[in-house]
A and B are shown apart, each in its own frame.
Chain A
Amino acid sequence: MFYQGVKKALPVAIGYLPIAITFGVVASSAGIPARMIVLMSLMVFAGASQFVAVNLIASGAGILGIIITIFFVNLRHILMSATTSEKLKKQSKGWLALISFGITDESFSIIATDPREDLPRAYVFGLITVPYIAWVSGTAAGVLIGESLPALLESSMEIALYAMFVGLLIPEIKRSNSKLKVVILAVFISSALSWSPFFNLSEGWIITITTLVSAIFAARFIKVEGDRVGK
């Protein structure tokens, strides 16, 4: 059972490796100490929000801004967790608390599309463990690479973080016209807040406010229809 979960998650784990390495390299070039980077991956295992955190830290955002932004980026995990709980209803709360650590987009879709009503514990455990190991090792490898990069490359590395965000964003808007509209709105708000003489907010707060305002406005006014379903 455990090994069946492992087998199923192997492609996910392999897919995580380049991303984890990239994360390690980018984080170390942003000046974050190696120990913190690996610790982040060990404790967080949340892909996108780690990237968010790195950028916010690098831009000197205050702790509160970081927490709020990450909180909302991760809020969508509530949707995923709520659906997953359907399949895992009979488990003990302690077990649920443990495995919810490992719920990511990928493990969620594997769990949600499983035809079985009730998934064996060992299977779910195998599903979560392998990608987690890949994620942490990849990050460590990335940090090692990042620290041995010549200074020449260092200056080109600044773009790495943004390239990563772009790389994450494009697939989202490729299959969704409504998300494209949100992007345009967010860019507008973000620019307005950054360049207007009326405001003097730190970058962290601008990011947080832009995210929340755009998402709320979109939820109210932008229809979701027309989006292509599935990855």
Chain B
Amino acid sequence: MSDDPFPLLSLRGVFLSRKGQEILKGIDLDIFPGEIHSLLGMNGTGKSTLAYAIMGLPEYRIDRGEMLWEGKDIHDSPVSDRARLGITLAWQEPARFEGLTVREYLSLGARGRTLSLTPAQCLESTGLHPDSYLNRPLDHTLSGGERKRIELASVLMMRPKLAILDEPDSGIDALSLDYIKAVLRKLIRLGSTILLISHHDEVASIADRASVLCGGKILKTGIPEEVARFFRNHCEECPHVNRPDREDFAHG
């Protein structure tokens, strides 16, 4: 993590509604260059929504608040523009593509970059053997775990400034978690910053800082151990679970 006092991404008072329901209710969050920032929260608390809003998906445009990228407002920037700025997202359930090979998909992320790793190197980093996977179609013949690892390899190919990883470890066997952690470290070595959404303590433990999201708000930000303790003590039994619309619960 760098000593740069200026955040790469800064969210101030971000509100977002979907289908008439307010999901993000005033998010304040800073992501600093070179850090792994872990985002904790129970299911339904808005973690993926926040990830999509940062990526700029059209259905997840923020209603109000500020979203500053290196100090500049990116509120109106479409997905492609944000990607060109260096933001990318690894989906929790990545899309599959008929007729596209793993090699072709990985290569898309490296377009216009001169210092990219090769598709084989990126695949290998995720524990998938290039000879077995590069020419395979990126379709339903891949298991969920394989597809997720390829998604990580794709992010690695892109070498983004900010990688938003939405539960890269869900559906992955325990033995493969080491590969996930290795990819995270590699991204950091290559100069990326990571916003990591994860339920695995083991994966989240490599974060530099962590935040807890509950009821559409950031409740606490700090060092991962403290935040994890807060999460265990206050959130795991919290009645806010899947009820981000209710305001009548006090947090400790």
Q: Is B one of A's binding partners? A: no
